[in-house]
Structure 1
Amino acid sequence: MINTTDYISGMLLGLSLIIAIGSQNAFVLKQGLKREHIFFICLFCALSDAILISAGVAGFGAVTARYPHLVDMARIAGALFLLVYGLQSLYASWRTSHALTVEGQVVTSLKKSLLLCFGFTWLNPHVYLDTLVLMGMVSTGASSKVVFASGAVTASFVFFFALGYGARLLRPLFAAPKAWNILDALVGILMLYLSWHLYHSS
Structure 2
Amino acid sequence: MTLSALAGLLTGLTLIVAIGAQNAFVLRQGIRREHLAPVVLICIVADVLLIGLGTAGVGALVSAHPGLVRVVTWLGAAYLVGYGLVALRRAARPEALSASVAASRGSVVATTLAITFLNPHVYLDTVLMLGSIANGHGEQRWAFAGGAAAGSAIWFTALGLGARALAGPLGRPGTWRVLDGVIGVTMVGLAVLLVTR
Matches within 5 A, 1:161-200: 161-200=157-196
> Which 4+ stretches in 1 moved above 6 angstroms?
none
The match for 2:131 is 136
Counterpart for residue 102 of structure 1: none
Q: Indicate the structure with greater helix content.
A: 2
Residue correspondences, number: 194
Residue 157 of structure 1, aligned match among 153, 175, 196? 153
Structure 2: how far apart are the matches of 1:141 and 1:89?
40
**What is the CA–CA distance in structure 2 between the aligned matches of 1:141 and 1:198, rounded to whole Å?**
27
| Partner-residue secondary structure (3-state), 1:29 | helix
CA RMSD of aligned residues (A): 1.5
Which of 66, 69, 82 lines up with 1:68 in the alignment? 66
Distance 2:74 2:185 in 1: 18
Question: SS where residue 172 of structure 1 aligns?
Answer: helix
Residue 176 of structure 1: how far off its partner (Å): 2.2
Partner Cα distance (1:73, 1:138) in 2: 25
Give the 5 Å matches for 1:90-129.
90-97=88-95, 98=97, 107-129=102-124
Q: Are the equivalent residues in 1 in contact too, given 2:55–2:134 (CA < 8 A)?
A: yes
| Inter-partner Cα distance in structure 1 for 2:69 and 2:31 | 32
Code of the aligned partner of 1:162: A
- Shift in Å at residue 4 of structure 1? 1.0
Match for 1:55 among 49, 53, 56? 53
* TM-score for the superposition, normalised by structure 1: 0.91
Give the percent of matched residue pairs that are identical in Structure 1 and Structure 2: 40
Moved more, 49-58 or 105-114: 105-114
- Structure 1 distance, partners of 2:164, 2:121, is 28
Tell me the TM-score normalised to structure 2 length. 0.93
CA distance in 1, matches of 2:166, 2:146: 31
- Listed as ranges, the gaps of 5+ residues in structure 2 are none
